[in-house]
Chain A
Amino acid sequence: MTPTIKVENLRVSIPLAAGVLHAVRGISFEVAKGETLCLVGESGCGKSLTSLALMDLLPSRAKREADRIELDGADLLKLGERDMAKVRGSTMAMIFQEPMTSLNPAYTIGNQLEEGIRLHKGVSASEARERAVYLLEKVGITGASSRLGQYPHQLSGGLRQRVMIAMALMCGPDLLICDEPTTALDVTIQAQILHLLKDLQREFDMAVILITHDLGIVARVADRVAVMYAGEIIESGDVDEIFSRPTHPYTQGLMNCIPVPGKTAYGERLGTIPGIVPSMIGEMTGCAFANRCAYAEDICLKTLTTRELVPNHAVRCVRAEEVAALNAGLDTATASAGSPA
């Protein structure tokens, strides 16, 4: 079966005064129908630019290159702006990080929900309205038909994000991209929205790319994970595999930064990753994580590839096997030390 979206060697660069910023440096992934891929990574690693590159909505200075971007088997790289606009909002839709500012203050919710489907599907005003009410109810908004006449400022952040989700689903997209959809919301609302997204994905059988920097969210919604660091995917695979056997030293560092119920003792210090992210300006050879990696050796600065260790688990680290072995040793050591004599 062809995946809904297939991306090969995607690169995004932005010319700046100090040089060319290579913000996304050759990433590849695919997502199938009904599947959720989580893109995780710290702030500035290129997650948003990746999603904007798929939609072809990058800032005008940014340059997009790729070997392949296919949606439902169709080559998006070949599309001109007019044809790309037909794909946007209809087969491929996106939800943004900022629910408070993503709706136009001057128009009613109904107007903004309906304009996309009227353009793409050419449906009548009443059909568009019916679909809007149906989806507002689906995303858990009560009194949906009376909401259509309201303006964004009359809704809370959580409600606005629900409206944004409904808006993205108006044309029944095959691919839904969610760029940190819950970061701006408080924790209880976050949980509701994530739950909702998961339900809707099942119901509409969409491919979902969910961007986050929160491993807790990944654990709850992902089928597969791709960990990004400095514009590259440094580790990817099935969610269970990555959580049970994180292999890249950066992924391990990330996992140590979150408390694990039952494992992390109260008051125990959580791990931090020392050092800073390298500048992404100019070319870079070898491992981007080398300046912070405890396992770094000379070989790490040579050209490096992404390798599949086991099926459905790829790592971009030359010393992956050794790191894994060392860790296994460490685990046994801690286990024996912890066991009663």
Chain B
Amino acid sequence: MLVYTAKRILLAILVSLTVSALVFSLLYLSGDPATALAGERASQADIMAIRAAYGFDQPVYVQYFKWLAGAVQGEFGESVYFRLPVIDLILERLPVTMTLGVCAMIFALALSIPLGVLAAMYPNSLIDRAALLLAVVGQAMPSFWFALMLIVLFAYWVPILPASGSDSWQHFVLPTIVLGYYATPAFMRLTRTGLLDVLSSDYVRTARAKGLRPAKVLFKHALRNAIIPVVSLAAVQFGFMLTGSIIIETVFALHGAGFLAWESISRSDFPTVQAVLLLFSWFYIILTFLADLLNAWLNPRIRVA
């Protein structure tokens, strides 16, 4: 397990570095950053001044390492728009995004795993078909459209929930449903196929031949093995949820980091966009790493690899 963990850590660091280089290069993707920052009517002297002030005149790799060194210490420079340290902006917004992400994940798992289990235990039954329908609808429906439908339904027709803002827990209900529902079909189908597979496995037959109670066979012997791929998927989905939160937070005007990224893109606030992207990616990498560890714990065969 120790060797395995060390290998995973090394891999995570390599991926983090690659990602940071990519995020950094985004700055140059849209042309000269100094010109963009200075605005359309700036003079050549203004542009030169900005270039010197931001260090854009130094070699690219020097800029990158300075930026990376800062990033590792949580130092992302100053927001061009707010004139405030980027890190403060993000830290202020992050709790909203995290709350939304965690709630959405819990909602998705709490809905999809029991449904997947029921669907696998009674294949082709009414409940299986209903679950399938839910999955098909979930995959076909764009999340912003679903968000708007929910707003119309629960904020206007039956006004029981607020349509926008992030002041109370009620503000999180609709965004959680939209963001969580988006991940539900994949979890549910994976639980169902995984469990169906495992239920017909030889070791489940062995467990039954031992005279174990059906609940013990299901939870101890079957579900534990069926859930392994779901754990990996959950990590990936959480990353997608962060990305998705950019849209959802914008629709519901939830003042989280996703909303900040959206606003900053439209304001050409490079340092902020870079910081949000980098932190989201690193967060995603850490999640994948933790999922790998959890997987190894659930599945002893992986540990030797």
* Cβ–Cβ contact B299 & A116, under 8 A: no
Does A103 have its Cβ within 8 Å of any Cβ on chain B?
yes
Interface residue tally for chain B (C-beta within 8 Å): 22
Give the distance in Å from the alpha carbon of A120 to the alpha carbon of B209 in the complex: 12
Contact A153 B301, CB 8 Å, known A104-B206, A104-B207? yes
Interface 1/0s, chain A 224-260, versus B by CB < 8 A?
Answer: 0000000000000000000000000000000000000
Q: Which residue of A lies closest to B198 (CB)?
A: A104
Does A277 have its Cβ within 8 Å of any Cβ on chain B?
no
Interface residue tally on A, bucketed by range? 20 to 34
B300 nearest CB across to chain A (Å): 4
Contact A115 B210, CB 8 Å, known A105-B301, A106-B298, A106-B299? yes
* Cβ–Cβ contact A104 & B300, under 8 A: no
* Cβ–Cβ contact A85 & B202, under 8 A: no
* Cβ–Cβ contact A101 & B202, under 8 A: yes
* Cβ–Cβ contact B211 & A102, under 8 A: no
Contact A88 B203, CB 8 Å, known A151-B300, A151-B301? no
B280 nearest CB across to chain A (Å): 33
Contact A116 B211, CB 8 Å, known A102-B205, A102-B206, A106-B224? yes
Q: Which residues of chain B in 183-212 are interfacial with respect to chain A, using CB atoms and an 8 Å cutoff?
A: 201-203, 205-212
Q: Which residue of B lies closest to A153 (CB)?
A: B301
- A102: chain B residues at CB < 8 Å are 202-203, 205-206
Interface 1/0s, chain A 84-126, versus B by CB < 8 A?
Answer: 0111111001101010011111110000100110011000000
Does B51 have its Cβ within 8 Å of any Cβ on chain A?
no
Give the distance in Å from the alpha carbon of A153 to the alpha carbon of B203 in the complex: 13
- A103: chain B residues at CB < 8 Å are 203, 206
* Cβ–Cβ contact B225 & A106, under 8 A: yes
* Cβ–Cβ contact A88 & B211, under 8 A: yes
- B201: chain A residues at CB < 8 Å are 101
Contact A98 B300, CB 8 Å, known A88-B208, A88-B210? no
* Cβ–Cβ contact A105 & B300, under 8 A: yes
Contact A89 B209, CB 8 Å, known A103-B203, A106-B300? yes
B196 nearest CB across to chain A (Å): 13
Give the distance in Å from the alpha carbon of A315 to the alpha carbon of B220 in the complex: 47
Q: Which residue of A lies closest to B228 (CB)?
A: A106
A160 nearest CB across to chain B (Å): 11
* Cβ–Cβ contact B202 & A116, under 8 A: no
Does A20 have its Cβ within 8 Å of any Cβ on chain B?
no
- B211: chain A residues at CB < 8 Å are 85-90, 116, 119-120
- A87: chain B residues at CB < 8 Å are 211
Q: Which residue of B lies closest to A100 (CB)?
A: B202
- A31: chain B residues at CB < 8 Å are none
Q: Which residues of chain B in 141-177 are interfacial with respect to chain A, using CB atoms and an 8 Å cutoff?
A: none
Query: Which 10 residue pairs are nearest across A and B when measured between Cβ atoms?
Result: A89-B211, A88-B211, A89-B210, A116-B210, A101-B202, A104-B203, A151-B300, A102-B202, A85-B211, A153-B301
Cβ contacts A to B, 8 pairs, < 8 Å: A57-B205, A90-B211, A96-B206, A96-B209, A98-B202, A101-B203, A102-B206, A167-B210
A residues in contact (CB < 8 Å) with B: 55, 57, 81, 85-90, 93-94, 96, 98, 101-107, 112, 115-116, 119-120, 151, 153, 164, 167
